[in-house]
Amino acid sequence: MKTLSDEEAEKFIVNILREKGKMKTGDVEKEMEKLGAKCPDDSVRFLSMLRMKNKIKGKLSVEEKGWMWWI
C-alpha cells in the first residue's frame, strides 16, 4: 500500500468528499484502500489537520458513533 504525500492525500480526500458527501472516517479509509493508498499519518489525525486548515469540515457524531467529514 502506498503512503500518499500530504498534498496527494489532501487532494484525494477533498475530491472524495465532494463526490460522495458526508462520510465517516472508516469510509474515507476504505475509499483510499480501494486505490491502494493511505494517509501520511493516522487517518483521524490527518482529517483533523485538514479540518483545522479549513479544507474540510468535520464533527463528532453520536448517531454515527464517530467522526463525520464533508466539504
CATH class of 2-70: mainly alpha
CA 1 to mean position of chain CA atoms: 17
CA 39, CA 48: separation in Å to the nearest integer? 12
Q: SS3 for 68? A: strand
C-alpha cell recorded at residue 45: 489525525
Q: Where are the domains of the chain?
A: 2-70
Q: Give CA–CA dist 43/25, Å, rounded.
A: 7
- Residue 37 identity: A
Q: Which three cell numbers stand for residue 29?
A: 479509509
**Average model confidence (pLDDT) across the chain:** 95
> Over the stretch 15-30, which tens digit does the pLDDT of each residue have?
999 999 999 999 999 9
Task: Report helix, strand or coil for 24.
Answer: strand
pLDDT band at 13 (very low <50, low <70, confident <90, very high): very high
**Predicted TM-score of the model (pTM):** 0.90
